[in-house]
Structures are given as structure tokens and as C-alpha cells.
Amino acid sequence: MTLAVAPPTPVRRGHDRSYLVIGLVAILATGLVALPVGALVWFALSVEPGIWPHLTRTVLGNYTITTSLLALGVGTGVTLIGVGAAWLVAAHDFPLRRTLEWALMMPLAAPSYIVAFVYTDLLDYAGPVQSTLRDLFGWRNAADYSFPEIRSLPGAIIIITLVLYPYVYLLTRTAFLAQSRAAVEAARMQGLSASAAFWRVAMPMARPAIVVGVALALMETLNEYGTVDFFAVPVFSTGIFHVWINMGSLEGASGLALMLVAAVAILLLAERRARADRRFTDARSTRPAQARAQLHGATAWAATLLCALPVVLGFLLPFGLLVGSSWHRIDALFTGDLASALLNSLELAALAALVVTVLSLWLAYAGRMSGAPLLRLGTRLASMGYAIPGSVLAIGILAPFAAFDNALDAWLFESFGLSSGLLLSGTLIALLFGCTVRFLALGFGATEAGFERVPRSLDDAARLLGSGPLDLVRRVHWPLLRASSLTAALLVFVDTLKELPMTLALRPFNFETLATVTHQYAVDERFAEATPGALAIVLAGVVPVILLSHTIRRASRPRA
């Protein structure tokens, strides 16, 4: 008699199915989000032939050079400020450190176009600084002296750096805080000095976070239009609008936008390849975070000064000037217009933050679990939406949405005699979708940076012990990822509050946000009327930014 023994049930059969579902949904979601980029590719391919020779002959070279210089300048600036401040604040103690830790993120709350016009007001010929100088030295008009021109490429680099360094600071600081003491201790035991330990151990280990931060800052720089237009700096984004509006070629504009995306993609790919074989996690990451090095005397105050400078220049000074110039219009802050705009802004920001955070977690998790290259590629493509100027991305969304709406309507009409009209375009859903596409890079970047710090050995251990995918996320990953997810949520919240071009193009009737209300005056350079709205945007953003800092600090504190 043979003994029939059923083969042992593989532990993972049921788990394979859920992983498959997760992966499939992720691919679908990625496809949906990459749709606008796809639409732009389609536009770009149908360009009339005459445009490209003209552009290449005339402006393309200069756009490329100026944009590269801008990107280089901003990239260098945000790295220096972001990483430097993060290291000082994470690994040392000095006067006012606790305050500066969260204050360094404040520039996130102010839109760059507002900071740009506040500084222009301050440093322009008719502004207080030059007027005072003229009084002091007896100069009478512009011919008598020379003063650095704020409306220039260097001016743009400085302003944009001051506004965007928090991305790098935020992600790098979280990385430093999460680094275990062990690696640095080991380095010091080998005889490395404190600064050598930083350069050769701490910073390389934080590299994924730094790269994500700088990539986000660069993409934001490339899609930036308000500041560079205001400063008359001829970069790709201004060129995109010139080709679109004046030459009537959306196709050419899409092509230019995609060139930007391609450039960013190449850079990121190169960076990925350069660190493909390295790991940035420490399996013993449950060790307590490093103790801070106490600074003394002049060094301590130097650190305070160095950390305070970006806060003052990037936030306090513009904010103070804003308050000062809108003081006599402070009642405008409380009008019905701004109140309803504020509610709309908050609603949109909250929804966008929710959607992007959930989607980012899903995608990051699916990518990690399945390891499918298609998924990773799709997610990268989808997050490239961030590099595309908002108005152009809006068109990329309008086209497929409206096409879908019209197709559905036509089919319903033929089949049932009903007309559904426009279901998606011109509603909040289109706008929400736009914000999702635009800010997926932010959310995904922050989440992925956090995920990279979770060693895969933990995943394997948990699976060996029998936990399914949801279990794994809930009991192992989420506690470790909470800080990154909250970072993602708050970053998207603040950025959606500031978002302008896409909101303008996609919104439904009678839907104003703080940004749109402010813009109608700012575009005419009516600073006085624009300041109450500008102030409201900054105030609305300050609260989540402070929340952000406290959240990260609490979540990365070692558990007793």
C-alpha cells in the first residue's frame, strides 16, 4: 500500500496572489499617472516640421545654457545649505539648535514667485535699499553708480535656492537622524576625525536621501515659471510658453518640456547606476541614533549663525516685508473672497496629500516587493511629471480626460440617447488628478527615501515567520515608515497650497484658491493688492511645516 502524502503547501501561494494584485494595481495606477506625460509625447510627435529648425537656429542653444547654469547653481546651493544645515542640526548641539531645527524648513511655506517679488521690491531702484544708498552717497540716478541687478540669472539662482533648500534639508536630516551610531563609531575608532567621519561615512550613507532632495529641487527649478519670467531669465520654461503662446505650437512646447524631462531622467539614471551596487542600510538600525557633539564658544555661535542665515533670508525677511507692506490692508485678509479661497485651498491640499501619500506607499511597496523592472520604470516615468511646467502638464491632462469624456458621451448618446457631458474635465477630479501627477515625485521621493533605510533582511525575516503582505506593511514597515509618509503628506500639502498654473487651467467655474486670487494681482505687478493673498498662503503653509518638523523629530526618536 502506497502512502499518499500530499506535498507540503508552499508557505507563499496565497501570498503570491496578493502580491500579484498589488503589483497589477500599482502598474495600472502608474499608467494612469504617466498618461499626461504620454499625451505630451503624442503632441510632441505631431509637431509641424518647421519649428525645430527655427528653434535650433535661434534660441535652443541659449535656453540650454541658461537652464543648465540655473540648475547647476541651484543644485550646488541647495546641496551646500541643505546638507550642511542638516549635518549641523542632526549631529551637533549649539545655541538655538532646537528652534533652528524646525525653523530651517520655513521657506517651504512661501511660494518662490512671492519671495521673488518681495526681494525685487526691496532691492529695486526705487526700493528702500537703493534709495537709502543714494541718499547716503549723494548719487542722483542710475548712471551714477552700479548696484547688482536682482532681476538676473544670479538673482534667480539665489532666490530659488533659498526657497528650495528645505527639500534637501528635510530628507537629509531625516537620514542623518536615522543613521545608527555604529557606523560612525566604527569610523572614529579607526582613527578618523569628526569631519572625516562625516565626509567618508555619514554623508555617503545619506546619499539616497540627498540625491532625492536635490532631484526634487532641480525638478521644481525646471518647472518654475513665475520667478524666471518675472526676472526675465530665458530658460526652458519661459521658452516653452513663448513657443506655445506666441508661435501657437503646443506641439513644439511639449517637445521642449519633454527634453527637460529627458535631461532629468538621464541625470537620475546616471546617479542610480553609480550607486547600483551599494547598500545604504544598517541592519542594526535599531541602535540608538548618534549622540550630539556639543559645540563650544565661537564654533557654536558660528553654527548658529550659519543655520540662522537661510531661515532669515528665505523666510523671516520676506515674511516680515510682506506683513509690513500689507499692514494697512490687513482687513483685506478677512474678506469673504479670501476666506472661501482659503477653504478651497485647504480642501484641495488635503485631498491631494491623502491621494499622493497612499499612492506613494502603494507604489514604493509594490516596487520593493515585486522588483518588477516595468513597475520601477513606470513609477520613474510617472514622477517625471514634476519637471514639467504646470500649465503644460495641465494640457497633458485635459486632452486625455476630455477625450475620454467625449467618447463616453458619444457612446451613451448613440446607445441610449443620453448625454453625460463632461464628467471629469472641468471638475475637481481633474484638478486633483493633476496635483497627484505633479506631486507624485515629492511623495514617492520622500517615501522611497525612507523605504531604502529599511533593510530587506527585515522583510525576509517577517515573511519567513509567515506574515502576509498587509501584515508586513502594518506591523513592520509602517512603524518604520511613518515619518517618511507623514513627510510626504505634509510636503504635498504645502506644495498644493502654493500650486498655481495647473489650478488656473484645470479648475471648475467659480473655484478660487489663495494662489489664484493672489495671482491675478501679481501678474500685473500690483504688489499692494497681491500681498494679503500672499500672506495668507504663507500663513496657511507655516502650520503644516511646523507640524512636519515635530512629526519627524518624534517619529525618529528611538523607542524606549
Q: Of 400-419, which residues contact other proteins (CB under 8 A)?
A: 401-403, 405-406, 409, 419
528 binds other proteins (CB under 8 A): yes
Minimum distance from residue 501 beta carbon to other proteins (Å): 7
Which CB sits closer to other proteins, 224 or 512? Answer: 512
Q: Phi and psi dihedrals of 67, rounded to 5?
A: -65, -40
127 alpha-carbon distance from chain centroid: 32
21 binds other proteins (CB under 8 A): no
307 binds other proteins (CB under 8 A): no
Q: Cα(first)–Cα(last) distance of the chain, in Å?
A: 60
Minimum distance from residue 529 beta carbon to other proteins (Å): 8
- Please calculate the CA angle 325-327-330 and round it to the nearest 5 degrees: 125
Q: How many residues bind other proteins (CB under 8 A)?
A: 75
Instruction: Please list the residues that pair with 93 across neighbouring strands.
Output: 294
46 binds other proteins (CB under 8 A): no
- Name, in order, each residue with C-beta under 8 angstroms of 354's C-beta and a sequence gap of 6 or more: 489
Which residues inside 459-478 make contact with other proteins, applying CB under 8 A?
Answer: 470, 473-474
Q: Give the sign of the dihedral formed by CA 465, CA 471, CA 473, CA 479.
A: negative
* 164-172, 182-190, 369-377, 499-507 -> range binding other proteins (CB under 8 A): 499-507
User: Which residue in 32, 41, 59, 192 binds other proteins (CB under 8 A)?
Assistant: 59
511 binds other proteins (CB under 8 A): yes
* 173-181, 267-275, 300-308, 390-398 -> range binding other proteins (CB under 8 A): 390-398
Which CB sits closer to other proteins, 59 or 381? Answer: 59
Which CB sits closer to other proteins, 94 or 439? Answer: 439
Burial group, residue 104, by CB count within 10 angstroms (0-12, 13-18, 19+): buried
Instruction: Name residue 29's amino acid.
Output: A
Minimum distance from residue 415 beta carbon to other proteins (Å): 17
395 binds other proteins (CB under 8 A): yes
143 binds other proteins (CB under 8 A): yes
Spell out the SS3 assignment of 300-363.
Answer: HHHHHHHHHHHHHHHHHHHHHHHHHHHHHHHHHHHCHHHHHHHHHHHHHHHHHHHHHHHHHHHH
Which CB sits closer to other proteins, 96 or 358? Answer: 358
Which CB sits closer to other proteins, 165 or 401? Answer: 401
241 binds other proteins (CB under 8 A): yes
- Measure the CA–CA gap between 204 and 200, rounded to whole angstroms: 6
368 binds other proteins (CB under 8 A): no
Burial group, residue 550, by CB count within 10 angstroms (0-12, 13-18, 19+): exposed
* 2-10, 178-186, 314-322, 498-506 -> range binding other proteins (CB under 8 A): 498-506
285 binds other proteins (CB under 8 A): no
Q: Phi and psi dihedrals of 232, rounded to 5?
A: 55, 40
Minimum distance from residue 69 beta carbon to other proteins (Å): 13
Helix (H, G, I), strand (E, B) or coil at 372: coil
Evaluate whether 18 touches 469 at the Cβ level (below 8 Å). yes
- Measure the CA–CA gap between 392 and 260, rounded to whole angstroms: 12
* 89-97, 200-208, 235-243, 535-543 -> range binding other proteins (CB under 8 A): 235-243
User: Which residue in 81, 211, 256, 399 binds other proteins (CB under 8 A)?
Assistant: 399
521 binds other proteins (CB under 8 A): yes
Minimum distance from residue 286 beta carbon to other proteins (Å): 24
- Measure the CA–CA gap between 432 and 356, rounded to whole angstroms: 10
Which CB sits closer to other proteins, 75 or 155? Answer: 155
User: Which residue in 32, 358, 381, 546 binds other proteins (CB under 8 A)?
Assistant: 358
- Name, in order, each residue with C-beta under 8 angstroms of 25's C-beta and a sequence gap of 6 or more: 362, 366
| Residue showing cell 448625454 | 419
* 201-209, 216-224, 232-240, 542-550 -> range binding other proteins (CB under 8 A): 232-240
User: Which residue in 30, 391, 484, 518 binds other proteins (CB under 8 A)?
Assistant: 391
* 96-104, 140-148, 178-186, 277-285 -> range binding other proteins (CB under 8 A): 140-148
Which residues inside 202-231 make contact with other proteins, applying CB under 8 A?
Answer: 231
Which CB sits closer to other proteins, 13 or 140? Answer: 140
Q: Tell me how long the chain is.
A: 560
Evaluate whether 180 touches 289 at the Cβ level (below 8 Å). yes
User: Which residue in 2, 6, 135, 140 binds other proteins (CB under 8 A)?
Assistant: 140
132 binds other proteins (CB under 8 A): no
239 binds other proteins (CB under 8 A): yes
- Measure the CA–CA gap between 50 and 44, rounded to whole angstroms: 13
429 binds other proteins (CB under 8 A): yes
- Name, in order, each residue with C-beta under 8 angstroms of 438's C-beta and a sequence gap of 6 or more: 385, 386, 390, 393, 499, 502
Burial group, residue 331, by CB count within 10 angstroms (0-12, 13-18, 19+): exposed
Minimum distance from residue 472 beta carbon to other proteins (Å): 12
Q: How many CA atoms lie within 13 A of 502 on its CB side?
A: 34
245 binds other proteins (CB under 8 A): yes
